[in-house]
Structure formats: structure tokens, C-alpha cells
DNA sequence: CGTGAGCTTGAATAGCTTCAAAGCCGGTGG
DNA sequence: CCACCGGCTTTGAAGCTATTCAAGCTCACG
């Protein structure tokens, strides 16, 4: 009988990824089929249309999930962070392209083995169901943003969401590092890079945010105003 | 010991709704907590923000699921048909507004009882997971449409999807009844009612579709062209 | 110090929306 | 059976927002 490997017991996401639904001794089953792999930033993890061989947990790093039109227009449909689950355990063909935004450490599972393991561990399956439901609700909120909000509202909403994720309970001015480039913000919000840039300089000019140490690092000076811009009534 | 009621055994969606994952004898558990209710077209089933008390299966009819901004802009994030599951079993508060588009017959379950029943019937839970994953993939494809496609592509794609749903394996000209109004198409595609109207007359003028017997009934004359308009390369 | 990728800024344009009015169609009542 | 009403839809003209195209800028890195 095999033991739970060290890489699981002291894993950074032991208590936030799907494995959090498992007792230590159950981890044997998952760890037996999982292996770690690091993808450098910019590298593609899965191409849309390829055979769908893997699922994964993110240990460190950020992934973007993208859909595109045949003529090359791109839409980022999701950004995934440490602890998040990656993939579609039931599709034969990968529906979307997945790319590492920064260097990313994944705990990979062959899709079919993962399905079997899930069958034997209902608590993990239940947790995956809850998370998938939550992802769906989030995607639905984003449908509203893409379909009905204008550029300013999209940008403000994006920054608010970032704050909530990075510093859920901060009071004063919040400092944030953007995980993605201007071009990726554009692909996330259904805008062009130029529109993103103009909206951000607008916010800076109005004193709502300030940028520092390069244009990836910024500070929210007036959160109330930002919230009002994101959701005007 | 109670028996499975007639309304379940000869239910129209016995083999397509979540119940299809259950043996006849298991249905006792579900039928014990479910009750049928008919909502007339136009009536709201759940308001976003209300306590999330119910889930349901659709027996007949069509529902729309909408999200809106505080100032009243609306986005249809999903259309649901007979056999589809409705609701979010894990949220305390309903995240979205659900409205009957046509007269709709629902098989309603109190949310908490439904959760318990699901715990005891893993096959049903598994089916719900599969369907939720599929809904997520569909929502992600719609994010691409809303974020990156123009009005003509949105309309063409919508009509193609309708054809695939209504007549998956038809060859010649397909006849379709639109389940929704122009205004609802606009809210589904992130457009205005006027733009939807203009695009549709454009398609008619170009001989791609024809409208008959009122503007809810149409015929696809040139599917190849419609597909090309939906996904140009 | 030079180079290049990523970002910003400006001007012109296109596409969708807004505002306004007229048309169509189904249902109701005379 | 026909006239009228009201909601939905179509059409037109004007306006505005975001895109496109084109420079120039910044900054990290060799």
C-alpha cells in the first residue's frame, strides 16, 4: 500500500483546490494519477479542438481560457488562479484554448483516470459541482457586462473585481498588480487595446486610480467612485 | 411505502430531465418533494435577489434567465427548454431573474430537499454535473459572441443555433418558429430591437431567410450562406 | 546607448444606438 | 363583417461610442 506523497501533504493549495474535499488518506488515489508540471508564461497548455486528455489543479500562476473566431478575434472567457480547477472532465475534445499567463505550476490528471477517481470520491465530485455552478453564475454576470455595459463600466467593474479578489477586506487605498497586459484586458472585456488604454488614463486623470512603477502596478484612490462607475443607477 | 405517482411515470420529460438518471423505483424520493405548477407566459418565476427557495425541471414551455444592471439594462443569459434543469441548488440568494416566455409547466423542488435527494442519488448528481459543465461551455461560447461578434454574426449565429435545436438533422429548407420576440432577441444578443429588425430584413432581402404568417415564423432558404455569415473566415 | 515590445495619444471612420414616425397584425367591439 | 385599438415591428435620419489607422512614447533589456 502506497503512502501520500510529500508534494501533496505540503501542497500550497491542499486546502483550497478540489483536494480539500479529501481526507489525507484519500489523497493516495488522487496523487497516484496526478503529476506536477510547470508551464512558462505565454505557453499554451491546451489548444481548442485537440483531444481533451487532461484536467488539472492550479498550484501557482495564472491561466487564461480563450475562445476565438475562425478569423482570429479572441475573447478571454476566464482567468484561473491557484486552487482553481482547470478543464472539462466530460468532453472528448477540448472546447477552449488554455494558456499560461505567468509561469504556472499545474497538478495534472489524465481526464479518464480523474473521472474514475471522482466516481469513488463523492465529496470531491460534490465540491466540483458547487464550483462549476459558481463558475456558471460568474460567466452569466460576465454575459451582462459584455452585452450591456459600455467601455467605462467594463473597465471599472474589472478593477473592482480585481480588488475584491486581491484584497477582499481592505479599507483605505488598495494597491494591485495587474495579472495581465492591456491587450489581455481588451480580450477579457471585449474591447480594443486602445480603448482600454484611454479608459485607464481617464481614470488616472480623474484621480480615481494612480499608476506606479510601470503600468502593471496601480493604486485605487477612490473606491466609492470606481464602484459607482462600474454600476451606475 | 408510497408508490411512484402517475404524473412521473407518464411525464413528458421522464427520459430527458434529470430524472432520466433514476430508476422507476427511485423516483419515489423525487416525486415526494416535487410538485407541478404552471406559469403563464410573461410571469416571473424568481426575482434576482429573492431567497433562493426552488429548483425545477421544465416539463413544457420556455423560460428566460436574465441579469440586469441597476439602471435597468437587461441581458438574457440563457433560454431554457423542456427537460432542462432550472436554478442554482447551492446559492442562498437567487442570482438571476427567471421569467416564463410562453406558458410553462414546471416540476418544482424545494431547494434544500432537492439537495438532500441529490446526496442520496449520486447518478442524478453526476448528470447534473455533466449538464452544468455543458451549460458553462455554452455560456463561454456566448461570451465570445457578445464580446467579439458584430450584429450580423450574432443574428446569423442565433438562427443557426435555433435550427440545430429545432431540426438537428434536416436537409432542405428548415422552417422555424421563433420562441421569442424581437425585443427578447435583442436582449439575448446584446443589441437593440432596431438593429435586430434591420439585420433580419437584410437577411430576407438577400434571400437567406423568408418570413411567413407573421414575423415569428420563418424559413431558412440558404443555410450555407447563413453559416458563413455566422462564422466568417 | 540602442532596440523592440507594449503602451499611449490623436484623427478619422464605421457601426450601432437613439430618437421619431409610420406600418402591420391580431384581437375586440360595434 | 368591418372599424378601431394597442402592441410589436419596421424604417429613416442623426448622433455617439468604440474602432481603425497611424504616430510617437516608455521602459526593460541587451
Which of A162, A35, A184 lies closest to A102, judged by CA?
A184
Please give the pLDDT value at position A72.
Answer: 94
Q: How far apart are CA A81 and CA A106, in angstroms?
A: 11
Q: How far apart are CA A145 and CA A185, in angstroms?
A: 14
Look at residue A230 and tell me whether its pLDDT is greater than 60: yes
Look at residue B172 and tell me whether its pLDDT is greater than 80: no
Identify all chain A residues contacting B85, using CB atoms and an 8 Å cutoff: none
Q: Which CATH class is domain B6-146?
A: mainly beta
Neighbours of A102 (CB within 10 A): 14
Band the pLDDT of A1: cuts 50, 70, 90.
low
pLDDT, tens digit, for every residue of B101-142? 999 999 999 999 999 999 999 999 999 999 999 999 999 999
| CATH topology classification for B149-230 | Arc Repressor Mutant, subunit A (1.10.10)
Look at residue B206 and tell me whether its pLDDT is greater than 70: yes
Alpha-carbon Rg for chain A in angstroms: 19
Look at residue A2 and tell me whether its pLDDT is greater than 80: no
* CB contact (8 A) between residue A136 and residue B140: no
Query: How far is CA A153 from its chain centroid?
Result: 21
Look at residue B56 and tell me whether its pLDDT is greater than 70: yes
pLDDT, tens digit, for every residue of A44-94? 999 999 999 999 999 999 999 999 999 999 999 999 999 999 999 999 999
Contact between the CB of A183 and strand C at under 7 Å: yes
B69: nearest CB among A130, A140, A148: A148
In chain B, which residues from 186 to 215 place their CB closer than 7 Å to nucleic acid strand D? Answer: 193-194, 196-198, 200-201, 211, 215
Gap from B214 CA to C25 C1', Å: 8
pLDDT, tens digit, for every residue of A175-219? 999 999 999 999 999 999 999 999 999 999 999 999 987 889 999
* CB contact (8 A) between residue A130 and residue B78: no
The percentage of chain A sitting over the pLDDT mark of 70, rounded to a whole number, equals 99
CA angle centred on B161, ends A184 and B227, rounded to 5°: 80
* CB contact (8 A) between residue A148 and residue B89: no
Please give the pLDDT value at position B1.
Answer: 55
Query: How far is CA A157 from its chain centroid?
Result: 16
- Which of the four CATH numbers 1.10.10.10, 1.10.3720.10, 3.30.1360.70, 3.90.650.10 does domain A147-230 have? 1.10.10.10
Which of A101, A189, A108 lies closest to A142, judged by CA?
A189
Identify all chain B residues contacting A142, using CB atoms and an 8 Å cutoff: 143
**Which residue in A has a C-alpha nearest to residue B157's C-alpha?**
A69
Same fold, B6-146 and B149-230: no
Look at residue B210 and tell me whether its pLDDT is greater than 80: yes
Helices (H), A71-110: none
Which residue has the closest alpha carbon to D9 C1'? B197
Q: What is the mean predicted confidence (pLDDT) over B65-90? A: 97
Contact between the CB of B151 and strand C at under 7 Å: yes
- Which of the four CATH numbers 3.10.20.600, 2.60.120.10, 3.40.50.720, 1.10.10.10 does domain A6-123 have? 2.60.120.10
Q: Where are the domains of chain A?
A: 6-123, 147-230
List chain C nucleotides near protein: any atom < 7 Å from a Cβ: 6-11, 15-20, 25-26
Place of cell 438593429: B195
Q: How far apart are CA B182 and CA B193, in angstroms?
A: 6
Please give the pLDDT value at position A5.
Answer: 85
Is residue A82 within 8 angstroms of chain B, CB to CB? no
Number of residues that this document lists for chain A:
233
Amino acid at each position: 500500500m502506497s503512502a501520500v506523497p510529500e508534494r501533496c501533504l505540503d501542497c500550497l493549495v491542499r486546502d483550497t483546490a478540489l483536494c480539500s474535499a479529501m481526507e489525507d488518506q484519500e489523497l493516495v488515489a488522487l496523487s497516484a494519477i496526478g503529476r506536477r508540471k510547470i508551464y512558462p508564461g505565454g505557453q499554451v497548455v491546451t489548444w481548442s479542438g485537440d483531444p481533451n486528455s487532461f484536467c488539472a489543479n492550479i498550484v501557482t500562476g495564472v491561466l487564461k481560457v480563450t475562445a476565438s473566431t475562425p478569423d482570429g478575434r479572441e475573447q478571454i472567457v476566464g482567468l484561473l488562479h491557484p486552487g482553481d480547477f482547470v478543464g472539462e472532465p466530460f468532453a472528448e475534445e477540448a472546447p477552449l484554448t488554455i494558456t499560461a499567463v505567468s509561469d504556472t505550476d499545474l497538478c495534472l490528471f489524465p481526464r479518464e483516470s480523474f473521472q474514475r477517481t471522482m466516481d469513488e470520491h463523492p465529496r470531491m465530485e460534490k465540491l466540483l459541482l458547487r464550483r462549476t455552478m459558481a463558475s456558471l453564475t460568474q460567466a452569466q454576470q460576465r454575459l451582462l457586462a459584455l452585452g450591456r455595459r459600455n467601455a467605462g463600466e467594463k473597465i471599472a467593474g474589472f478593477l473592482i473585481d480585481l480588488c475584491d479578489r486581491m484584497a477582499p477586506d481592505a479599507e483605505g487605498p488598495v494597491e494591485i498588480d495587474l495579472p495581465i497586459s492591456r491587450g489581455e484586458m481588451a480580450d477579457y472585456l471585449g474591447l480594443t487595446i486602445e480603448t482600454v488604454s484611454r479608459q485607464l488614463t481617464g481614470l488616472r486623470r480623474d484621480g480615481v486610480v494612480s499608476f506606479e512603477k510601470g503600468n502593471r502596478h496601480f493604486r485605487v484612490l477612490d473606491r466609492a467612485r470606481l464602484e459607482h462607475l462600474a454600476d451606475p443607477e
